[in-house]
Amino acid sequence: MSRRLVITADDLGRDEATDATITSLAADGLITATSLIVLSPHAAAALGPIRDLGLDPGLHATLSSEQGIAPWRPLSDAAGLAADQGQLSSDPRRALATATAQEVLTELDAQLTWMHDHGARPRVLDNHAGTLYGIHGRSFLTQTLRWCAFHALALRLPRHPGTLLAAEPHLAAAHRAAVELADQLAVPLPAAICTNRATAAQHGRYENLREHMIAQVRTLPQGTSELFLHPSSAPGERLRARRWEARLLRDPLWHEALAQEVDELVAGWHP
């Protein structure tokens, strides 16, 4: 078995600067996948150019807003989700605190329908800020897996927890149960995932982020794994790590490491 890697740029649709960065990376063949925030007012404008380049984005299920930009509103009439005057909370710990499982699934239906109505056929579901996974409190993984099975979608849930549970050890039992359920339901999972969870200040300098990401790639198991980043050219200190991630994807040393550690870059872990 070989080591294959999906390189995903998350947050397509977040803002115009992010969309331009992701589209440029796709045009240059530096990413193999992306995922779309359909709640953003920029979503429709971002979708056309990326599909013209041959990428059909995954659904970046969005159940929370994000600090620093205008809050998003759910597409469904879900009072439990829209607890902040009709808006999604920017605090992922509060985002699903008052939502029912049915409200969550109804919103996922609405976001998937938006993609279908705009001509996109996503094959993968992932989750903005990890609100579905129980990282911040309540977990909707069981319901999400059954929803993915019904819609024939793969899910970003690593089969091998790796660094994911090194940071969240309390999720170990829930993770094992979710992987078992995914297999029962035939929901495809990546072998492992790697990403950047640190700020630029925590890394200190760009070279430290690069070494952190290369170290993760070196530990990937056999099979198809996913690297997901949030590359952007948007200004501001809070987004400096995103600008570094965009730089990483063009870095010759990064590509040298990929050539040494990865047998093939692919578009997905789904069949």
* The CATH number, out of the four listed (3.20.20.370, 3.40.50.620, 3.40.228.10, 3.30.360.10), of the domain defined by the range 3-266: 3.20.20.370
> Within the chain, where are the H helices?
16-27, 43-52, 92-95, 101-117, 141-151, 163-167, 172-185, 200-203, 206-218, 240-248, 252-261
pLDDT of residue 160: 92
Average pLDDT of the segment spanning 63-75: 95
pLDDT of 167 strictly over 80: no
pLDDT of residue 164: 62
Model pLDDT for residues 181-211, shown as the tens digit of each residue: 999 999 999 999 999 999 999 999 999 999 9
Mean pLDDT, the chain, rounded, equals: 95
pLDDT of residue 140: 95
Q: What is this structure's pTM?
A: 0.96
Residue 174 confidence class, pLDDT cut points 50, 70, 90: confident
What are the residue boundaries of the structural domains of the chain, listed by start? 3-266
Write the DSSP assignment of 112-164 as a string of letters.
HHHHHHTT----EEEEGGGTTBTTTS-B-HHHHHHHHHHHT-EE---SS-THH
